[in-house]
Amino acid sequence: MTVKLSIVLGQHGQVRDLRNGTVGVAGFELEFIEKKRMPDAYREMARSQPYDICEMAPTSYLMAVAAGAPITALAIPMTRRFRHAGIERLRSATIRGPKDLEGRRVGVRTYSVTAAVWTRGIFADEYGLDPDKVTWVTEEEENVQSFATPPNVQRLADDQSIAGLLKQGELEAAFGGLAGAGDALEDQLVEIVEDADMRERDWFRRTGIYPLHGMIVVRNDVLERHPELALALFEAFTQAKTNYLARIHSGEAAGAEDLRYRELAQWVGDPLPYGFDENARSLEALVRYAHRQRLIPHAPPLRTVFHDPRVIQSKARDNTQINTQDNAQGSKHDNPLATASRT
């Protein structure tokens, strides 16, 4: 019997074949729920987990789990983007580099937005910026309600906006796009790191870190009821991605995002790697940055928060065999997948 599960995903090329049914998840039927803004789905999943499966910002996920949310992230990242670029300044501003942000106010949608976590961490490591000496001006509430922002975070009044403060000259810098000021002021803003592309390539060669911005998250009760789901999802997402990369390389997929991934593939290899080992360096960096920026109380062991579906399924099989043997002797054990997902 096919099991129906609700799912929220962004409009990514690598999941197109999942959305249109070309690729299915063995034993399951996905019911796609559309959201106008993916950050709204992140917030809902952090607070009340209304969906069975959901793409979620990895920083929001880490914070939600630290606050007790019953969800598990599978090591299936959705989007990748280097983050030396992203903070923009007014053309008239005297800011000339990341270090110059100290002592100033910088706009960002929320303090915990993953793009900002990456950029703050990179600016600290590569340029010596002390993020605690920057006042981060936010315009939306944090996804995790119990999170108390650091003292150098200021929330705007409801009738104010980052874009408005930039226009008025009350802010000199902000994250662009959905992470902050939106796109209305593009002609008035320039990147703080003007040679970001070159520096990103050098950073990747030195560190192997490839920033990720979305993870597939599943409610724990769903995984416990369906221990085969994790691997089925991994296999389906992998097939859909393989199809997408073929379209990119053939030229069939030629939108701006498609071309960006095709270019990235020339120097990162697989532009959309799935799996724990394939993403370990990037996951470690993100956890380190989140902890350093006081978004999570401690840096948890990676495998306790990011799970490889292939490993989960293998452990579930092993535990099922153990349970079968022990139950014959009158023993009781935890749910196999629940045990696997905790190890």
The overall average pLDDT reported for the chain is 90
pLDDT tens per residue, range 1-35: 799 999 999 999 999 999 999 999 999 999 999 99
Q: Answer yes or no: is pLDDT of 337 > 50.
A: no
Q: Answer yes or no: is pLDDT of 329 > 90.
A: no
pLDDT level of residue 317 (50, 70, 90 thresholds): low
Q: What pLDDT was estimated at residue 339?
A: 35
Give mean pLDDT, residues 328-335.
35
Q: Please name the fold of domain 3-80+210-312.
A: D-Maltodextrin-Binding Protein; domain 2 (3.40.190)
- Give a three-class secondary structure readout of 292-343: HCCCCCCCCCHHHHEECHHHHHHHHHHHHHHHHHHHCCCCCCCCHHHHHHHC
Q: Answer yes or no: is pLDDT of 318 > 90.
A: no
Chain-centroid distance of CA 301 in Å reads 18
Give mean pLDDT, residues 54-64.
98
Q: What pLDDT was estimated at residue 332?
A: 32
87-207 is classed CATH 3.40.190: yes
Q: What pLDDT was estimated at residue 181?
A: 81
pLDDT level of residue 330 (50, 70, 90 thresholds): very low
Cα–Cα distance measured from residue 315 to residue 337, given in angstroms and rounded to the nearest whole number: 8
pLDDT level of residue 312 (50, 70, 90 thresholds): low
Q: 250 exposed, middle or buried (CB, 10 Å; 0-12, 13-18, 19+)?
A: exposed
**143 three-state secondary structure:** coil
Q: Answer yes or no: is pLDDT of 255 > 60.
A: yes
pLDDT level of residue 313 (50, 70, 90 thresholds): low
Fold matches, 3-80+210-312 and 87-207 = yes
Q: What pLDDT was estimated at residue 225?
A: 96
Q: What pLDDT was estimated at residue 99?
A: 97
pLDDT tens per residue, range 82-122: 999 999 999 999 999 999 999 999 999 999 999 999 999 99
Q: What pLDDT was estimated at residue 16?
A: 97
pLDDT level of residue 155 (50, 70, 90 thresholds): very high
Per-domain residue ranges for the chain?
A: 3-80+210-312, 87-207
Q: How many CB atoms lie under 10 A from the CB of residue 77?
A: 27
Q: What pLDDT was estimated at residue 133?
A: 98
Q: What pLDDT was estimated at residue 55?
A: 98
List the one residue out of 172, 138, 140, 133 whose CA is nearest residue 154.
Answer: 138
pLDDT level of residue 186 (50, 70, 90 thresholds): confident
Q: What pLDDT was estimated at residue 263?
A: 96
Q: What pLDDT was estimated at residue 328?
A: 42
Q: Answer yes or no: is pLDDT of 149 > 90.
A: yes
pLDDT level of residue 314 (50, 70, 90 thresholds): low
Looking at the DSSP bridge assignments, the partners of residue 260 are: none
pLDDT tens per residue, range 279-295: 999 999 999 999 999 99
Q: What pLDDT was estimated at residue 194?
A: 92
Q: What pLDDT was estimated at residue 122?
A: 98
Q: Which residue has the higher pLDDT, 182 or 196?
A: 196
Q: 92 exposed, middle or buried (CB, 10 Å; 0-12, 13-18, 19+)?
A: exposed
Q: Are 180 and 109 in contact (CB under 8 A)?
A: yes
